[in-house]
Amino acid sequence: MPTYVELMAQIEALQKQAEEVRQAELAGVIAEIRQKIQDYDLTAADLGFASVPPVKTGSVGTSDKRAAVKPKYRDPSSGKTWTGRGVMPKWMKTAVEVGRSREEFLIQSE
């Protein structure tokens, strides 16, 4: 029966051999996949790789598949808006701190 050290050496040798075989087969596998994509006119979305452009929310690298939310509040002096979700913007926070209510800034539905 082989010792632990001998088995570990065999594992290392087999891992190296497996990586060599993988590298040798890689070009053929890629060519085969590319051919199938071309034959079947597949897109990245068909394969589950479609990406949605990042939603500009101030966070870097975020993307979201949900629809954009309409603004609920508007600052009459600057025209800046807020959906009412997430962190309260400074203009709203300042107004609330001096005693004004959020309802004053509601955007009226037309």
The CA-atom distances, in angstroms, between 20 and each of 6, 28, 45, 50 are 21, 14, 32, 31
pLDDT tens by residue, 35-79: 998 998 988 888 888 665 655 655 555 555 677 888 999 998 888
63 vs 31: which has the higher pLDDT: 31
Q: Where are the alpha helices (DSSP H) in 1-110?
A: 4-39, 90-97
pLDDT tens by residue, 94-108: 999 999 998 989 988
